[in-house]
Amino acid sequence: MLTKTKRPKYLNLFKIRQPVMAVVSILHRVSGVFLFLAIPVLIYWLALSVRSPEDFVAAGAFFTSPWAKLIGLILAWALVHHFFTGIRYLLMDISLGEHLPAARMSAWLVFGVVGVVMLGVMGVMFL
């Protein structure tokens, strides 16, 4: 006889405890989409920097207002995270650290490196 068990159905992503590799992976995607959205910003900045001497100065002061700094910080995080997690995936492609213990450790390592680099970015931006 079948008994009806009350198994919990955790479809709420915030209630599932994801392994660290999964968090690195989804943030790779999120940061990738952010960088996709940053493409026109980058080209606009490049166009500004070569247009005229005044615009060149404006391009140099691109991330100075508080809102621009916030966006700049988010984009800097996206680039740094995407860069280092990307290198982790490239290393896995050549069979470096593709098994569970190494992958778990490299995922934590990537978070550490991103954190340290972001502290440096914030130091340059705000100090």
> How many Cα atoms occupy the beta-carbon half-sphere of 50 within 13 Å?
5
- CB 11, min distance to other proteins, A: 15
Given 3-state DSSP classes, what are the helix, strand and coil percentages for the chain, each rounded to the nearest 5? 75, 0, 25
Q: Does 66 bind other proteins (CB under 8 A)?
A: no
Candidate residues 16, 39, 61, 127; the one interacting with other proteins per rule CB under 8 A: 39
Length of the chain measured in residues = 127
Contacts of 67 by beta carbon, 8 Å cutoff, 6+ apart: none
Based on the shown chain and the rule CB under 8 A, indicate whether residue 97 belongs to the binding site for other proteins.
no
The count of residues interacting with other proteins (CB under 8 A) is 21
User: Can you tell me which of 22, 68, 74, 90 binds other proteins, judged by CB under 8 A?
Assistant: 90
- Measuring CA to CA, which residue among 35, 23, 43 is closest to residue 108? 23
**Which residues sit at the interface with other proteins, rule CB under 8 A?**
29, 32-33, 35-36, 39-40, 43, 46-47, 49-50, 52-53, 56, 79, 83, 86-87, 90, 93
